[in-house]
Each structure stands twice: as structure tokens, then as C-alpha cells.
Chain A
Amino acid sequence: MTDAAQSLRRERLRALGLVLPLLLFVGVTFIAPLGTMLMRSVHDPVVADALPETLASLGEWTGEGLPPDAAYEAIARELVLAREERTLGQVAGRVNRVESGLRGVVTRSARGLGDVTEGPWREVMVAIDSAWADPGTWHAIRATGQRFTARHYLNALDMQQLPDGSVARQPEDRRIYLPLLWRTLIVSAGITLLCLLLGYPIAHLIAHAPPRRANVLLVLVLVPFWTSLLVRTTAWIVLLQTQGVINDLLVSAGLVGDDGRLAMIYNMTGTIIAMTHVLLPFMVLPLYSVMRAIPGRYMDAAASLGATPTQAFRRVYWPQTLPGVGAGSLLVFILAIGYYITPALVGGSSGQLISNMVAYHMQTSLNWGLAGALGGILLAGVLVLYMLYDRLVGIERLSLG
């Protein structure tokens, strides 16, 4: 091996050695958690673990009519067992998500079976609840019994798997998540546009002001940027609520009556105003750094060649700022679609976005598989945008103020 090749090898090992500790750290503390969450969205062993023999005997069932007697016998035994091992609630909850109303059927049956010592099991179970004579109940049990399932993703896309295995969309009035996803995308696009509209002029002003004034103006952008998100959100609550500063101002100015106070918060308006405020610096900073590099001579040259200010702006200035526009817009959009805190605090019930639905299923409904699937879809979207950002701007140039 030549000296040069050897030193390159050594250099490469050295570089890898420096990066490796962090790579391992991020792998364990960040990537593994994401993996766990994605795993939960496709892997759900609760029912499979609790009712193994029932599911085995359902394997021979064609899906037509009622399942064989062996299935009744197995489930009678396994439900009682699950009740003793305290997994019954989880099993009932999962079955209930496929076919609502079955939670009660499952828990009631387990309780009723506690006193019964011998069959015929089919008749015993149907006597406890007639739902056991309905093939739909058994379809639900079989569906939840799959360890690996696309059920949560279908659910997250407002689709369901029918008993015959085909996939169909939910009826119109039961579609929740796709409309919410749309709303998130549209609101995020709106906020991005708003940030561009507000941010472009001030970035221009800062970029072409004399240095001292530019520094002062830049501070006005950076102070909110560095201020705690919760502080900024609190500030908007103080300003916008019905007994808040702006409404008080409007009332004392006589613009609105005391009973006509505006509802500017705890709805979508609040979410949009507060999020625009929070994300605006992320638009201004990349615009500013691009605009600062544009020499003033170009505009002078355009003017001396007879362009009106509008023409000079449109044909000379604007095209040169496009990299900044792209970087800022993409960044704001990426941050907006995953936003959680602000909508949760000022969005009320109408101003919620997809992240809030993930939080709801994590904390309130405890449907963690669905939370994982919604998160997985959101993550995939962000990942695509992130790669686009890397291609267009370069991630190491994410601007941090």
C-alpha cells in the first residue's frame, strides 16, 4: 500500500472514530424510539397472546356462517383465563375498536362464563350474549388476532378491511383523519404564505439598511426567536382572549360593544395567528441572508436601463431571492405540519392539527397503534420534505439566527 493511500485510510478511520460515538448515541436515544413507535403501529400481539387456541381454531373457518364448536370451546376457556390474568380489558378494547359494542359483549361473557363448568359451549355463549351467533363478532376477533396488521394505517387513512378481506373507505360521516390531514396541510400552507408575505418586506428592509439600524431591526426578529415558545403562546392568550388586551382596547375605543367581543382565540384563528408569529423568524432569517448578498448596484443598473421600480423588482430582485424564499418556505412548512404546542394551547376544538390527534390517541383514547400510524404518516411526509430541503438548500445550512 502506498503512503498516500495509507494516510487516507488513517484519516478516514479517524473521522469515523470521531463521528461514531454520536451516531451510536443518536441511534439509541432517538432512532430507536422512533422505531419503537413505528413498530407499535404495525405490531399488536395482545389478542394473539391472550386467545391463541381460539385463533388457531378460527384458522379453519371459512368466514361463512358460524365458526366450528372448537372455537366456542377455546374462547370460553381463554376468556376466563384472560379475566384472571387481567388482560381482558385490553382484549375487549381492541375488539371494540373493530366493531363497536363488542367491549361489553366480551367482558360480560367472561364474567358469565365464570360460573359455567361444562358445555355445550356454543349454546352457553349464545345464551349469555346473542352476539356470539353473529359472524361479525368472530370476524372482529380474527382481525384483532393478527400480530402484524395494517389495520392502524387503514384506520388512519379512514379505511377499513371488510370481512371478505377487501379494503373499503369509511362511510362519509365517519371519516376523521383524512379531512384533518388536509386541514393540516392547508393551514400549514396558509401560514407559510402569511410568513412569506410578512417576512419578505422586513427581511428586505433589514438586509439593505445601514449596519447599525440593521442590527437593531435584526434584534427585533431575534428576541421572539429566542423567547420561550410557551411565553409567546401565553402572550397571545393575554392579547387575544375575550377579556384580553385587544378586546379591551376595541371596546374602549367603541369599535365593538362589550357583548360583541371577538372570539380570536381557542379556535383556528388563534392557531393561525400564534403559529405565524412563532414561525415568522424562520422565514425572515434565510431571506435576510440571501438578500444581504444581493448588491444594490443591480437595482441601480436596472433603473438606469429604464426599468420602473416594479419591473426592476420583478425581473432583477425577486429571482435572486428565490433560494431564500424556497429555504424559508420549506422550513416553515415542515415545522408547521408537525406543530403541537400552539394548537393545543390556543386552538380550542376547531384549531387542532394532526399532531394533536396523535397526542389525543397517546394520552386520552390510549389507542397507541393508531397514534403510531398517524405519527408514521406524518413522519413520512416530513421525511420527504426534509430530503427535498437537503437537495435544494443543504441541511447543514439550516439557519439558526
Chain B
Amino acid sequence: MNPGALASGQAPRRRMAGGIPRDRLVRFAYLAFCTVVFVFLVAPILVIVPLSFNAEPYFTFTEGMLRFDPEAYSLRWYREVYESEAWRGSLVNSLVIGAFATILATVLGTLAALGLASPAMPARRLVMGLLISPMVTPVIISAAGMFFFYSSIGLGQTHLGLILAHTALGIPFVVITVTATLSGFDRNLTRAAASLGAGPMIAFRKVQLPLIAPGVLSGALFAFATSFDEVVVVLFMAGIEQRTIPRQMWAGIREQISPAILAVATFLIAFAVVLLATVAWLRRRGGSPRPNR
């Protein structure tokens, strides 16, 4: 380091040979690198959207598409998906399984989070670890175990079996989001309600629930998204009757590649954006899984 610079109280400033300040160059390289990473994150997803309007059965841009020739674009893959019994059935399955799994996970998970938030809860850490374990357990292991266990109790290849399995996988998300919301909850509010004569149920319904509702709701959305995107357990446990959208996509990728799956993918991207927007909106209303404090 240049001692003269220190003496004059200035941060040393080095210059590259060309006369461009080194700081500027570093800053430029840093921004360029970040741009590349953002492109890496988003571009693959964005590429899907125009390709799903391909008039040809190709997975890449045709010359017509690059010339923006309207003839090169079509809705044929959307029509194909819409008219396909298999895809429609899988949408119904995904929605039914997802809805029931979400309701179960949200109710049970919220109750448990309320218990876990109490300072009197014994073995809190262990219980928490157990409840969150489905989230970190490699899904192939969960799926293999569920395959053995659910078939042995007669729930293999049933909707109920899949609903229970997806509930287990969605529970950690509800527990985490609601617990985080509750950590910002002022317990004096329930005490105040009690002192004003409210019973525990009334105090919960009128005071606590409205305040933690955004957290509960974003936990529910996480649980639904988990079920809606889950494929490995479905691969192991579902019969033809229980095929879900991800299962159909899996088959589409592995067996008969057709741009129809790009149309479905575009639909799922739109769905993800809606979910993300909803969760962001809920978070602004205080449902943050990671409260800013």
C-alpha cells in the first residue's frame, strides 16, 4: 500500500494501464457476472414459452419462428393438451390430491405450530426436527418406504394413499411458515382478550387467527405447490387412475417427447408466477417465513 495515500487520508486508488480506475473495472466485471447468473436463472424458463407456440413438432426455434412469421406459430399443442383425456384427467387428479393434502397439512400443521410456540412445550427441538424431516429426507427414500408401507395396508394405488403421502411432504412447510409468523406474535394480545372475558376459542378465532392468517395461508400455498409438483412418490405409488400432471410430464419427457409438454410447462410457469405473487403479497401483510427483525 502506498503510505502517501494513507497520510493524506485517502483510500489508495490504483489505475490500470489504460487509465481506467481499477474500482470501475472491478465493478463492471461484477455487474457483468451477475447479469450472466441472472440470465442463467431465468432464460431456460423463458425459452419454454415461445417454443410452446411452435407450429412444428420440434423442441427448437424454426426459421419461421425467428422471422416472426405468424404461420410458424400456432396453438396446436395447447389444443392437443386440452383435448387429451390423459392430460385433463391428470389435472383433476393433481387438483384433488393437492387440495385435500393442503387442507390436512394446513389444519394439522397450524395446530402443531401453535403448540410448538408455547414456551411450556416439552422436547420442542426433537419434535420440530421430526416434523420437518420429510422436507430433507431424500424423496426417493420417502417414496420407497411409502410404496412398501402403503401397499401393505391396502392404500397402494389409491387417491387416499397419495393424499396422505403428500400431506406428510407438505407439513414441514406449514409448520415452518406458521411458527415463524407466531414468533412475531405478541402473546399479550391473547392475554388481553382473556382479561376482557374471551374464552380460549374466542380469543384464538377473533384475535390470534386473523393476525397469523397470512402465515397460515402462505404455508398452505407452499404445501399445495409441493403436492402439485411432486412426482417421485406418484411414480412409485400411483396407478393409471392416479396419474397427476407431473407424472404425465415425466412420461412425456421419458417416453414420447412432444411439444405438448412445453404447453403444459408454460401453464405451470404461469401458475408459479401467480403463486409467487400471492406469497409475496401475503408476506407484505405479515406472513413472512423469515420475519425482518
Contact = CB atoms under 8 A, between A and B. Distances in A.
A225 B109 CA distance: 23
B53 interface: no
Contacts of B175: 22
Which label, helix, strand, loop or mixed, suits the secondary structure of the B interface?
helix
Contact of B167 (A8, A29, A202): A29
Contacts of B115: 14-19
Given A223-B273, A390-B129, A396-B128, A230 B139 contact: no
Interface stretch (B67-75, B76-84, B85-93, B117-125): B117-125
B225 A238 contact: no
A168 interface: no
Interface string B105-122: 000110110111010111
Contact of B249 (A33, A234, A306, A339): A234
B289 A235 contact: no
Q: Give the interface centre of A248, A277, A304, A400 by most chain B CB atoms within 10 Å.
A: A400
Query: Which of A222, A241, A339 has the most CB atoms of chain B within a 10 A radius of its CB?
Result: A222
A12 interface: yes
B272 A15 contact: no
Interface in A177-223: 198-199, 201-202, 205, 217, 219-223
23 contacts: A18-B112, A21-B111, A33-B150, A220-B38, A230-B246, A234-B48, A234-B261, A235-B44, A243-B58, A244-B59, A277-B41, A277-B44, A303-B11, A306-B5, A341-B231, A345-B253, A356-B140, A358-B144, A379-B141, A395-B128, A396-B180, A398-B135, A398-B176
Given A11-B118, A23-B112, A29 B44 contact: no
Contact of A338 (B34, B44, B140, B246): B140
A26 B145 CA distance: 13
Return the 7 tightest CB-CB contacts between A and B, nearest first: A338-B138, A18-B115, A33-B145, A37-B145, A235-B44, A33-B149, A22-B112
Interface residues of A, number: 98
- Most chain B C-beta atoms within 10 Å of own C-beta, residue among A34, A308, A334, A378: A34
A371 interface: yes
Contacts of A386: 129, 133, 136
Interface in B1-56: 1, 5-6, 11-12, 23, 26, 30-31, 33-34, 37-38, 40-42, 44-45, 47-48, 51
B276 A226 contact: yes
Interface string A374-401: 0100110010001101100001111111
A202 B36 CA distance: 10
B34 A239 contact: no
B157 interface: no
Nearest to A280: B41
Contacts of B167: 25, 29
A345 B254 contact: yes
A237 interface: yes
A32 interface: yes
Interface stretch (B190-198, B205-213, B262-270): B262-270
B287 to A, nearest CB: 11
B137 interface: yes
B242 interface: no
A230 B229 contact: yes
Contacts of B127: 19, 23
A100 interface: no
A30 B262 contact: no
A90 interface: no
B268 to A, nearest CB: 5
A140 B223 CA distance: 48
B253 to A, nearest CB: 6
Interface residues of B, number: 99
Contacts of A14: 115, 118, 120
Contacts of B61: 245, 248
B184 interface: no
A196 to B, nearest CB: 12
B133 to A, nearest CB: 7
A188 B108 CA distance: 34
Contact of A29 (B5, B6, B116, B168): B168
Contacts of A243: 58-60
A18 B176 CA distance: 16
Contacts of A241: 59
A37 B139 CA distance: 13
B141 A375 contact: yes
Contacts of B129: 386-387, 390, 395
Contact of B232 (A15, A337, A341): A341
B141 A338 contact: yes
Interface string B221-235: 010010011011000
B265 A12 contact: no
Nearest to A371: B144
A238 B268 contact: no
B272 A228 contact: yes
A33 B279 CA distance: 32
Interface in B138-165: 138-142, 144-150, 152, 164-165
Contacts of A225: 276
B8 to A, nearest CB: 11
Given A235-B44, A238-B51, 8 more contacts: A22-B112, A223-B45, A224-B42, A230-B250, A230-B253, A238-B44, A306-B1, A378-B141
